[in-house]
């Protein structure tokens, strides 16, 4: 039995498909499908640490804050991030726990609500890049400029679209997981840990200690940082495409297979890995390998097992 540790980062599709409404039943069904793939790796003897995105869930919760604020106080973005970690952590611990027990495997599963330290001087605070929550009309955007003076609203769709404005928040670089020592102890105790969900709750040093920040950390970059801090052997990003591709979307599209870090750096410079989707995944993988990680992989959920056992997918090695 090998005891290789794999840090797995699950994309939005692992939890909510594009055409899903987002009901709890749909999300549970997707979490079960994802967990079945993860159980294959656990049965093969790998130690897993799991992280996940929270975009659709955080977006929906923000709408609930907006719509419900006349009845109950609305929660700020850091608290909403923590709420989604709780929600998805619960779904994964239940699904993984049930599937493992059905196989007679008693390995415990636990999720941790996890803070990630960021710098208040991160350049993204000056020019926030991450759209969150509902879309607004021009009139609503003007009203929000008065009622929510600390919100930044940007036009994210062309003039022809009525609801073209959206709140944007900073997406600062993750520096370190605050609870990394606890996570390490859990891993050493043989627990399958779900951590740093949604990129983790971003926190900065305030005058009385850590304080939440109205930001959203990229979950792939945060996952790579956690993978590095826990000395994972492999950082495995599971998304909805089997490979990172060159000439993406063009007739001569080409899969990237196993490449060295130096080769991937050259390929990334071509600009085929788009910002906001494949770009951060490739950057996260390169950071993990650059900081001493053995192997980083990008592939789709259904190829997770082959990626680990047969080298399938985009694989970046030192
Ligand atoms: P996740 O929810 O897993 O983070 P994303 O949508 O953020 O998923 O990223 C995966 C998407 O990246 C793919 O569905 C694809 O549309 C897009 N993408 C952009 N550039 C590339 C590329 N060069 N190769 C493959 N996919 C790419
Ligand atoms: Mg993404």
Q: What is the pTM of this model?
A: 0.93
CA of 145 to the centre of ligand 2 (A): 28
Average pLDDT over residues 140-168: 91
The runs of H, that is alpha helices, within 125-260 are 138-147, 180-188, 219-229
Between β-strands 258-260 and 234-239, what pairing exists: parallel, antiparallel or unpaired?
A: unpaired
* Ligand 1 neighbourhood includes 56 CB (under 6 angstroms): no
Q: Which tens digits make up the pLDDT trace of 180-222?
A: 999 999 999 999 999 999 999 999 999 999 999 999 999 999 9
What pLDDT does 156 receive? 84
pLDDT interval class at 175 (50, 70, 90): very high
Q: State pLDDT tens for residues 258-317.
A: 999 999 999 999 999 998 889 999 999 999 999 999 999 999 999 999 999 999 999 999
Q: What's the start-to-end Cα distance of the chain, in Å?
A: 25
**Is the confidence at residue 1, as pLDDT, over 60?**
no
DSSP characters over 35-77: HHHHHHHHHTT-EEEEEE--HHHHHHHHHHHHHHTTTSPPPPH
Q: Is 317 helix (H, G, I), strand (E, B) or coil?
A: strand
Q: Which residues pair with residue 169 across a beta bridge?
A: 130
Express as a percent the part of the chain with pLDDT over 90: 84
> Rounded to whole angstroms, how far apart are CA atoms 38 and 127?
38
Provide the pLDDT confidence category of residue 6 given band limits of 50, 70 and 90: very high
Interval between CA 12 and ligand 2 midpoint (Å)? 7
Q: Is 185 a residue of the active site?
A: no
What is the per-residue pLDDT for 2? 55
Over 80: is that where the pLDDT of 14 sits?
A: no
Non-local CB neighbours of 148 within 8 Å, separated by 6+ positions? none
């Amino acid at each position: 039995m090998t005891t290789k540790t794999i840090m797995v980062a699950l994309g939005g599709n692992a939890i909510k498909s594009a055409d899903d409404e987002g009901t709890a039943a749909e999300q549970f069904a997707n979490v079960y499908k994802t967990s079945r793939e993860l159980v294959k790796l656990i049965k093969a003897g790998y130690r897993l640490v799991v992280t996940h995105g929270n975009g659709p869930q955080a977006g929906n919760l923000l709408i609930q804050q907006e719509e419900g604020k006349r009845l109950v106080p609305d929660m700020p973005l850091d608290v909403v991030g923590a709420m989604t970690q709780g929600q998805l952590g619960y779904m994964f611990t239940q699904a993984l726990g049930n599937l493992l027990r059905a196989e007679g495997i008693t390995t415990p599963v636990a999720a941790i609500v996890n803070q990630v330290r960021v710098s208040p001087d991160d350049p993204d605070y000056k020019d926030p890049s991450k759209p969150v929550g509902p879309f607004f009309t021009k009139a609503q955007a003007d009203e929000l400029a008065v009622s929510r003076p600390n919100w930044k609203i940007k036009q994210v769709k062309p003039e022809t679209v009525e609801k073209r404005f959206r709140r944007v928040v900073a997406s600062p670089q993750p520096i370190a997981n605050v609870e990394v020592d606890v996570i390490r102890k859990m891993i050493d105790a043989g627990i399958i840990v779900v951590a740093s969900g949604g990129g983790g709750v971003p926190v900065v040093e305030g005058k009385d200690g850590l304080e939440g920040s109205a930001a959203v950390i990229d979950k792939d970059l945060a996952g790579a940082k956690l993978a590095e801090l826990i000395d994972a052997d492999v950082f495995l990003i599971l998304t909805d495409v089997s490979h990172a591709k060159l000439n993406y979307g063009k007739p001569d599209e080409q899969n990237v297979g196993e490449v060295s870090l130096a080769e991937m750096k050259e390929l990334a410079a071509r600009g085929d890995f788009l910002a906001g989707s494949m770009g951060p995944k490739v950057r996260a993988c390169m950071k993990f390998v650059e900081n001493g990680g053995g192997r980083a992989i990008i592939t789709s959920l259904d190829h997770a097992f082959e990626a680990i056992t047969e080298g399938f997918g985009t694989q970046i090695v030192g």
